[in-house]
Structure 1
Amino acid sequence: MADHGLLSSKPLRAAYSTIDATDLRDLIASTYPFESPFECGLLNRGFNDVYLLRFPDGRSKIARLSSRRARGESNVAYETSLLCHLKAAGGDVAAPLSTNTGALSIEVYAAEGRRSLVVFEFLAGDPPGTDLQDTKAMAASLATLHRLAQDYSGPASHYVLDLQHLVIRPLQRLLNHASMDDLLAGRLREIASSLIAKIEATTQLTTVFCHGDCHGGNTFMTSSPDGRRVGSFFDFDDGGPGYLAYDLAVYLWAVLLNNRELELSAEQSEQWRCFVDGYREVSPLSPSDYSAIALFVSARHFWFLGEYASRSGEWGSAALPPEWLEKQVGKLEQWGALETP
């Protein structure tokens, strides 16, 4: 008789697990005041797992299961409270929905440990893409959210979007990555040191409650009854108190990301101009904040690369191959000469 070996003495720990949609539906049905039956399906696997809930009357809701992240514990107490504040003040956001007991989130015990679950309102519409009118409206909506959040007094954020969060800790995650070599590490340290010095030398920077991820994909556009375009925001998971220049730089970073040249194309320049004009229609933008946007494009890229580096246990080290990292370091070196368009 063939010997197939012994089972391990205990289950091996998971770095990441995808929760079965049927099990998640049953958990939501037992925890939230929703009429049954409803469907639940995995919509997107990314930095978090997003599920679409469909109800017999045609309505939908979104369930987001937060991933365990290198930054530390979930920030949902702050995020959900801020969203409730913004919604009550008239902000266009996807608000969290309450459980049977009035909680705005629950903890789910997955194979890898606790993960936070939040169910949100469903937002209709589509991202603004490159439409200039929608780009302007999205920026105006972002400015409105910044203004409405000024008197927020709920639970504090676990994370502040400062240089430690955006550059220093992400740099360390990159330096620890399997694809990193001494030459690349030295170049990254030099870029980060120069960037930090420039930002620290910049005075009178405004701080706001940042969305943290306003690249265009986390905003859905619709038309109001009077024909006005409205940008509604979701996915505040990477938000927190931070620099206004950073929250605006995320959009410029997204525009520049696939460019080989430092300069924007004519179409991209018009897109960026509409974004800035839309923001300024609602809220002022000081010369100091505006000039600093270019610096925070690089800070955003450090944060982005650090997030990828921190996921090696889930995605594998091959997700950041040496050749790709080399290109990203080159991009950061190029952006060292960037000025806000």
Structure 2
Amino acid sequence: MTHTIKNTLIPEESIITLMQNYDLSEMVSCKLLARGLNDTYLISTNKTNYIFRVYRLNWRNESDILFEIEALSHMKEKNQHISYPLKTKQDTWLTRINVPEGERYGVLFTYSEGERPEINKENCRLIGQSLGSIHNCTDSFKTEQKRSYELDFYHLIDEPLKVISPVIESLFGKEKVDFLDNIADKIKQELKSKNLEYGFCHGDYHNFNMHISGNNLEVFDFDCCGLGYRAYDVAVFWWNLKNNYPKVEAECWSAFLEGYLSQRQLSKEDIDSLPLFITVRRIWLVGTMLSNEDVWGREWITRDNLAHFLEDLKQDQEKLWKIKE
């Protein structure tokens, strides 16, 4: 899972030059929006805005990106409200960019108008409806492109723990690694006993990856998409409520689930698995952050922060098994 490599920040002037590969109207400006797992630029013309994403080296390979692009193209054809990719003048999806560390890929996307949706009952119901609609739409998605991972136990649990465990052992000792392994084993055993729905997932579905304008909600950033457990996709939004909006978690989670179920049913086994997938999300995220220290740095890797992570896992499990009893 280690992806750490120094990724050159491409100057905005160079991105403007790359825009000549696309059939755009007169350029006005290019601004770096964010450096994260990928670099994201806002492209403004005299008519509209676009997003240009430069993928990190060793994060996504060519087939990974084309899988994402074909999924988005499928959703666009099915009239889903998403940010979708645009081809170059040469009728290709990818712009190849040579930088000191190697060849990186750029893709131009439509811009989602509006603002990040406020977390309230009305919006959460709409956000749930959108995910249900995406899952319905992608039931028919097929591609010959291969994603280098699936949102399965290996990618979400085993691979992250290979990175997390040495750090936990160095800070807390072997006992806490055994604690982690025990939780991971219990989760996998429990989930394997269920008949869970498996299909295309957004992979990072929360309100930071969508904009709302009036009643129009548009979803973007499918970089973490892939085939996987649909319950995980649903649980990511619950995890976001727990972490960032605890005061309104209960009412907004209920509204989100109501919205999702208005579009698509979840089996009892999938619903019962949701608390487990919250723990899975916590493990995946910490593993991803540790594997990409050139994005998040190392200052956050402290005893206090990792103790908080372990306490969250402990509380997750105490609530889960108390409910089960």
- TM (norm. structure 1) is 0.86
Q: Which amino acid aligns with 1:308?
A: M
| Structure 2 residue aligned with 1:4 | none
Decide whether the 8 Å contact of 2:8 with 2:101 is kept in 1.
Answer: yes
| Structure 2 residue aligned with 1:34 | 24
| Structure 2 residue aligned with 1:199 | 191
Instruction: Pick closer, same or farther for the CA change 1:163–1:82 going to 2, 3 Å.
Output: same
Matched, 1:318 2:299: yes
Decide whether the 8 Å contact of 2:202 with 2:224 is kept in 1.
Answer: yes
Q: Mean alpha-carbon deviation: is it higher for 298-307 or for 168-177?
A: 168-177
| Structure 2 residue aligned with 1:51 | 41
| Structure 1 residue aligned with 2:151 | 161
Of 89, 103, 119, the match for 1:114: 103
Instruction: Pick closer, same or farther for the CA change 1:123–1:314 going to 2, 3 Å.
Output: closer
| Structure 2 residue aligned with 1:66 | 55
Superposed CA RMSD in Å reads 2.2
Q: Mean alpha-carbon deviation: is it higher for 71-80 or for 235-244?
A: 71-80
Matched, 1:187 2:168: no
Tell me, what secondary structure is at the counterpart of 1:76?
A: helix
Which entry has the higher C-alpha Rg, 1 or 2?
A: 1
Whichever structure has more helix as a proportion of its residues is 2
Structure 1 residue ranges without an equivalent (≥5): 1-12, 224-228
Q: Which amino acid aligns with 1:246?
A: Y
Q: In structure 2, what is the Cα distance between the partners aligned to 1:102 and 1:253?
A: 39
Q: In structure 2, what is the Cα distance between the partners aligned to 1:332 and 1:69?
A: 29
Instruction: Pick closer, same or farther for the CA change 1:330–1:289 going to 2, 3 Å.
Output: same
Matched, 1:249 2:257: no
- Structure number with greater CO (CA < 8 Å, separation at least 6) is 2
Of 116, 119, 144, the match for 1:130: 119
Cα drift, residue 186 of structure 1: 3.0
Matched, 1:24 2:15: yes
Cα drift, residue 312 of structure 1: 2.4
| Structure 1 residue aligned with 2:133 | 144
Q: Which amino acid aligns with 2:216?
A: V
Tell me, what secondary structure is at the counterpart of 2:119?
A: coil
Instruction: Pick closer, same or farther for the CA change 1:111–1:77 going to 2, 3 Å.
Output: same
Alpha-carbon deviations, 1:96-153, whole Å to 9, x = none?
A: 0101111112222223222221110011112222121111111101111111111112
Decide whether the 8 Å contact of 2:33 with 2:41 is kept in 1.
Answer: yes
Tell me, what secondary structure is at the counterpart of 1:269?
A: helix
How many residues are matched? 315
| Structure 1 residue aligned with 2:220 | 234
Instruction: Pick closer, same or farther for the CA change 1:186–1:109 going to 2, 3 Å.
Output: farther
Q: Which amino acid aligns with 2:305?
A: W
Tell me, what secondary structure is at the counterpart of 2:25?
A: coil
Tell me, what secondary structure is at the counterpart of 1:297?
A: helix
Alpha-carbon deviations, 1:181-201, whole Å to 9, x = none?
A: 334433322222222222222
Q: In structure 2, what is the Cα distance between the partners aligned to 1:185 and 1:40?
A: 46
Q: In structure 2, what is the Cα distance between the partners aligned to 1:179 and 1:63?
A: 40
Decide whether the 8 Å contact of 2:129 with 2:261 is kept in 1.
Answer: yes
| Structure 2 residue aligned with 1:170 | 160
Cα drift, residue 314 of structure 1: 5.0
Decide whether the 8 Å contact of 2:168 with 2:177 is kept in 1.
Answer: no
| Structure 1 residue aligned with 2:254 | 273
Cα drift, residue 67 of structure 1: 1.8
Cα drift, residue 66 of structure 1: 1.4
Decide whether the 8 Å contact of 1:15 with 1:314 is kept in 2.
Answer: no
| Structure 1 residue aligned with 2:205 | 214
Tell me, what secondary structure is at the counterpart of 2:85?
A: coil
Q: Which amino acid aligns with 1:334?
A: Q
Percent of matched pairs sharing the same residue:
27
Cα drift, residue 250 of structure 1: 0.2
Q: In structure 2, what is the Cα distance between the partners aligned to 1:127 and 1:17?
A: 28
Tell me, what secondary structure is at the counterpart of 1:136?
A: helix
Structure 2 residue ranges without an equivalent (≥5): none
Q: In structure 1, what is the Cα distance between the partners aligned to 2:73 and 2:154?
A: 28
Of 269, 274, 290, the match for 1:293: 274
Instruction: Pick closer, same or farther for the CA change 1:52–1:74 going to 2, 3 Å.
Output: farther
Alpha-carbon deviations, 1:178-232, whole Å to 9, x = none?
A: 984334433322222222222222x211112100111211111223xxxxx2321
Instruction: Pick closer, same or farther for the CA change 1:118–1:204 going to 2, 3 Å.
Output: same
- TM (norm. structure 2) is 0.90
Q: Which amino acid aligns with 1:49?
A: D
Decide whether the 8 Å contact of 1:179 with 1:320 is kept in 2.
Answer: no
Decide whether the 8 Å contact of 1:70 with 1:310 is kept in 2.
Answer: no
